[in-house]
Structure 1
Amino acid sequence: MTGKLVFAVVLAFCLLPVFAQDPGSNPGQGLLIRNATVHTATDRGTLRNADVLVRGGRIARVGSGLVADGVQTIDAQGKPLTPALFGGITGLGIEEVSAEDTTNDTALALGMDAKHMVVRPEFDVTLGYNPESVLIPVSTIEGIGFTLLGAGSNAGGSIIGGQGAVMRLDGDPEPTGPKLLFVQIGARTAELTGNARAAQWMLLDQLVDEARGRIAADSHAALLTPAGRAALARYLDGNGRIVVGVHRAADIRQLLRWAKKHGVSIAISGGAEAWKLAPQLAAAKVPVFVDPLANLPASFDQIGATLENAARLRAAGVEVGFTQSGDASHNARKVRQLAGNAVANGLPWEDGLAGLTRVPAEAFGVADRIGTIAPGMRADLALWSGDPLDIANVAEQVWFDGRAIPMRSRQTELRDRYLRTLTPASEGGLPRAYSH
């Protein structure tokens, strides 16, 4: 074994998660959270001194002065209560150590250049999801309740990364919503299409023709397998949603034309220059998931990046959500910092919260289950020490289906263990590296 692989194995062993939720256990008999500042993420907005009653794992009532017998009662003392938050488009559960390929299942790389590009839209990353991932408790104890598993987040060997879906981080191994297809457009994948952006649209048009049966499956020019044709066909004519990674305004303009031409429902991930086309995006009802910290021209596709991106988009009527650039899987818990920065740069606070709750739930097909605090919704909730968009505050308790999760992860256990060993043995401390 190489030193790198040995290190990864040892790290995985040391950080083995022990706090995953058990999806097979029954929801709590009942829960009443009283006297909270309830941020519903619905048209009801924020309710002061309000109560939330949970029965059978779902929200039964939201109001004031609620009374219920035989349920656990918690006094929130006026603190904020929100839906459990969206962690962004990540590889949570399909990525452990970014630098160790054997622990990274986010992308399919069967071909790495245009001549050998293999397009496999049938590739489904949810099949590799591990609900006992080390990274999940690190996120859930900080208020993150669901994520969208992104396919081909490292571009892989195709402009079509494959399919992903929303996963609740409660230990359930199955997706909680419909599948979504991931496509990457722009400079990042131009090398896969002959180093020409225009060729990306040419190939996407060809793929649609194949899915519609306009190009014979046995044609020498065909790029899709039979399973790939069937998979792609499910996203045409308004069925399903395609999540497109794109930044440059010129590319977004072509994307809107392409989506209209083929009757495709799209969402944008990234969109550093999306504000330049805000009215068009609003008219087409395209949600945009931005990184509000993008403020510098990290590439020629992002020359127009601005901290006011989210605020400008929302002012034009675009539904705005949040996701991270870079190592999103290991930093999902920081997504509320993104929302806070968007608010600091002009986005209304309620829209900042919506971008972490209602907006992703609606965009990715799970709004009938999660993302808001309303009767009938799953009781995935987070109680905060203060404003959840201010990183000075923390999640004091998180619930899935009304069940309180242990507010600790393997990382907090290791922290406590090694802090304890700093105390001299004469004062009750333990020898280094021993926990009991």
Structure 2
Amino acid sequence: MLHAGLCATGLLGVAANVGAQDVLIRNATVHTAGPQGTLQGTDVLVQGGTIRAVGAGLAAPAGVTTVDAAGKPLTPALFGGITGIGLEEVSGEAPTVDNAVSLEDQPMRPEFDVTLAYNPASMLVPVARVEGLGFTLLAADTGKAFVAGQGGVVRLDGSADPIGPRALFVRLGAGASDLSGKSRAAQWMLLDQMVAEARGRVPADSPHALLTPAGRAVLARYLGGQGRIVVKVDRAADIRQLLRWAARERVRIAIAGGAEAWQLAPQLAQAQVPVFLDALGNLPGNFDQIGATLRNAALLQAAGVEVAFTQAGDASHNARKVRQLAGNAVANGLPWEAGLAGLTRVPAQALGVGDRLGTIAVGRSADLVLWSGDPLDVIHTAQQVWLGGRAMPMRSRQTELRDRYLRGTGEGGLPPAYSHGP
């Protein structure tokens, strides 16, 4: 049930008017996820889709809708993790899955870009959005090559195009050994050959070339520092080799997974490598995760590593659970502010969109969430999401099905699915 103050000042009306751009959110506990930290009893003024002012007792310009937050938490819209939202609708139905390429001839295709298949009308977008998620990193998944291809950041506001630089996705370790001659050692041999091709040290017409001309050009951009290479890797020994390779080739990397990353926390901090991890990973799902621990995030953060969160497994359909990851990391020693940063500022900055997303500050896009309580506690919910200043409809196919079968409010006046009365 929404607080009476919210209803009285027109929050429901704002949600209904999706095109509204100007709003003054009063008396919120503003978690900026930036240098200002948490601000009590603070107002946020949004005009033209942008945050124009943050402070106490702001005057409401003419025509601006006012929302009384009644002291509740206001945060930046959250990062949904590394997902295939809009790229996979039904994971078991191949024609609805577009995040991997499986080519027999020259399977290494860094030029493959999954963002070209992104569907902003996917049912998964509102499912994630009503949980307070405002952006996600679309990932290329491995098909027949451990160099999977490119992805990018999309906002969950219905926009069709990604924002910021692309990221290149690579999988290393046991999970990719079948794609590299049954040995993780061969992954480095093949990576070195691809680098040599991209740097022009291998003739373009070589019969043993791994990359197409387009693939060489794309990989060369990443070798030149344009965009991050996001590497799915867990074992500490593999992470050590990755850090050496990245330093030698002077590339910008991020780690996804990192079950044993805490064992190399000082080295990761020194190399300024962010880690996107699943904070619930505490049991070894395979031999690359023997050192998994619930204190992974806390140990990394204490060493100075920037920690963000992403869901393992079915990340697209369960993106909403990313809050649970951050909450569990906090329960195991990560400072609360760092937990929020791992869902906001850290991923935005790591992915090159920190000038627009991830913090509440003047000039940033007004991607905001008003919560019923602590956003890292899953007992609380998002009361209203604004993306670019637009109040998003707080409904999804899931909520509509719930209403249809529990209250009988669906089309045709269907009866309730369950009856507890006589």
Report the number of matched residues. 400
TM-score (norm 2): 0.92
Please say if residues 282 and 318 of structure 1, whose CA atoms lie closer than 8 Å, have aligned partners that are also in contact: yes
Say if 1:73 and 1:65 are closer, same or farther in 2 by CA, change over 3 A. same
User: Does the residue aligned with 1:324 lie in a helix, a strand or coil?
Assistant: coil
Equivalent of 1:54 in 25, 35, 46: 46
Equivalent of 2:312 in 325, 328, 335: 325
Pairwise CA distance, 1:420: 2.8
Q: Kindly provide the amino acid, as one letter, of the partner of residue 143 in structure 1.
A: G
Pairwise CA distance, 1:118: 1.0
Equivalent of 1:87 in 80, 94, 97: 80
Equivalent of 1:289 in 272, 276, 295: 276
Give structure 1 stretches of 5+ with no counterpart. 1-20
Write the distance in 2 (CA, Å) between the matches of 1:29 and 1:97: 34
Pairwise CA distance, 1:266: 0.2
Give the aligned partner of residue 38 of structure 1: 30
Write the distance in 2 (CA, Å) between the matches of 1:145 and 1:263: 32
User: Does the residue aligned with 1:360 lie in a helix, a strand or coil?
Assistant: helix
Equivalent of 1:118 in 90, 93, 107: 107
Write the distance in 1 (CA, Å) between the matches of 2:227 and 2:69: 39
Matches within 5 A, 1:423-434: 430=414
Write the distance in 2 (CA, Å) between the matches of 1:422 and 1:177: 42
Say if 1:429 and 1:271 are closer, same or farther in 2 by CA, change over 3 A. same
User: Does the residue aligned with 2:137 lie in a helix, a strand or coil?
Assistant: strand
Please say if residues 237 and 262 of structure 1, whose CA atoms lie closer than 8 Å, have aligned partners that are also in contact: no
Write the distance in 1 (CA, Å) between the matches of 2:230 and 2:69: 38
Give structure 2 stretches of 5+ with no counterpart. 1-14, 418-422
Matches within 5 A, 1:153-232: 155-232=142-219
Please say if residues 272 and 309 of structure 1, whose CA atoms lie closer than 8 Å, have aligned partners that are also in contact: yes
User: Does the residue aligned with 2:46 lie in a helix, a strand or coil?
Assistant: strand
Say if 1:278 and 1:214 are closer, same or farther in 2 by CA, change over 3 A. same
User: Does the residue aligned with 1:341 lie in a helix, a strand or coil?
Assistant: helix
Please say if residues 31 and 72 of structure 1, whose CA atoms lie closer than 8 Å, have aligned partners that are also in contact: yes
Tell me the alpha carbon deviations over residues 329-382 of structure 1, each in whole angstroms, 9 at most, x when there is no partner: 000111000000000000000000000000000000000111100000000100
Write the distance in 1 (CA, Å) between the matches of 2:293 and 2:341: 21
Write the distance in 1 (CA, Å) between the matches of 2:318 and 2:39: 30
Equivalent of 2:395 in 395, 404, 408: 408
Pairwise CA distance, 1:197: 1.0
Q: Does 2:129 match 1:140?
A: yes
Q: Does 2:96 match 1:103?
A: yes
Give the aligned partner of residue 127 of structure 1: 116
Write the distance in 2 (CA, Å) between the matches of 1:81 and 1:431: 38
Give the aligned partner of residue 339 of structure 2: 352
Write the distance in 2 (CA, Å) between the matches of 1:386 and 1:367: 25
Please say if residues 43 and 57 of structure 2, whose CA atoms lie closer than 8 Å, have aligned partners that are also in contact: yes
Tell me the alpha carbon deviations over residues 249-284 of structure 1, each in whole angstroms, 9 at most, x when there is no partner: 000000000001111000000000000000000000
Tell me the alpha carbon deviations over residues 69-126 of structure 1, each in whole angstroms, 9 at most, x when there is no partner: 2200000000000000000000000011111111111111124xxxx66100000000
Give the aligned partner of residue 420 of structure 2: none
TM-score (norm 1): 0.89
Say if 1:313 and 1:58 are closer, same or farther in 2 by CA, change over 3 A. same
Q: Does 2:267 match 1:280?
A: yes
Q: Does 2:75 match 1:75?
A: no
Say if 1:429 and 1:119 are closer, same or farther in 2 by CA, change over 3 A. closer
Please say if residues 21 and 388 of structure 2, whose CA atoms lie closer than 8 Å, have aligned partners that are also in contact: no
The ranges of structure 1 where at least 4 consecutive aligned residues each deviate by more than 4 angstroms after the TM superposition are: none
Q: Does 2:255 match 1:268?
A: yes
Give the aligned partner of residue 377 of structure 1: 364
Write the distance in 1 (CA, Å) between the matches of 2:388 and 2:81: 21
Pairwise CA distance, 1:429: 6.2
Is 165-174 or 236-245 further displaced after alignment? Answer: 236-245
* Percent identity of paired positions between Structure 1 and Structure 2: 70
Q: Kindly provide the amino acid, as one letter, of the partner of residue 387 in structure 1.
A: D
Please say if residues 27 and 401 of structure 1, whose CA atoms lie closer than 8 Å, have aligned partners that are also in contact: no
Please say if residues 27 and 56 of structure 1, whose CA atoms lie closer than 8 Å, have aligned partners that are also in contact: no
Write the distance in 1 (CA, Å) between the matches of 2:21 and 2:98: 38
Write the distance in 1 (CA, Å) between the matches of 2:185 and 2:120: 40
Pairwise CA distance, 1:27: 5.8
User: Does the residue aligned with 1:179 lie in a helix, a strand or coil?
Assistant: strand
Q: Does 2:232 match 1:245?
A: yes
Give the aligned partner of residue 18 of structure 1: none
Write the distance in 2 (CA, Å) between the matches of 1:240 and 1:401: 25
User: Does the residue aligned with 2:245 lie in a helix, a strand or coil?
Assistant: helix
Is 102-111 or 368-377 further displaced after alignment? Answer: 102-111
